[in-house]
A and B are shown apart, each in its own frame.
Chain A
Amino acid sequence: NAGVTQTPKFQVLKTGQSMTLQCAQDMNHEYMSWYRQDPGMGLRLIHYSVGAGITDQGEVPNGYNVSRSTTEDFPLRLLSAAPSQTSVYFCASKTGNTFNEQFFGPGTRLTVL
């Protein structure tokens, strides 16, 4: 199993550009999430999904869109990038049972100029 994979590893955008961060998992996990990690602030939940076709907002959803057309994939879209979105983005997945071990991807480091 590859686990949770994310592409790209690094990205530089100009303000106003759009892009999609890709996330895929091969563990047949129901739950998938996107977090952003900023210095001194831990991980903050952006959006999450409890299954194909179902998504919901997390703590910091503004400026981001998600969709979940398959169990495996959960892309995160930035429609019009802003410098405040400079961060490291992590995708995670977990099974639907009660215990909440999340499996994390390696992260995407995004810089918005």
Chain B
Amino acid sequence: GAVVSQHPSWVICKSGTSVKIECRSLDFQATTMFWYRQFPKQSLMLMATSNEGSKATYEQGVEKDKFLINHASLTLSTLTVTSAHPEDSSFYICSARSRGTYEQYFGPGTRLTVT
């Protein structure tokens, strides 16, 4: 149980374009979803937290107009990187948690490369 999927697993886009990443909880209701970013040989850095049906809460230094997060249902959250630049190239990982629990389950990640 507790499976989280992400799509796509990797994407290459041109500078200035937008990219959408999907995160789905397959066998549980994710009342809270989290988006993390991980640079090579570094730990996961939290970007934002979203509760189903509410606006996302962004961490300090994360531009909410650049990283659009939507958590419209209990099984789906999306992250859209708008006007992507090469410095946005990273490994993006989503995580989900159901109500009343403290374990977070992670997706397999999405490798974004902006050329």
Partners in one complex: no
Interface of A toward B, CB cutoff 8 Å: none
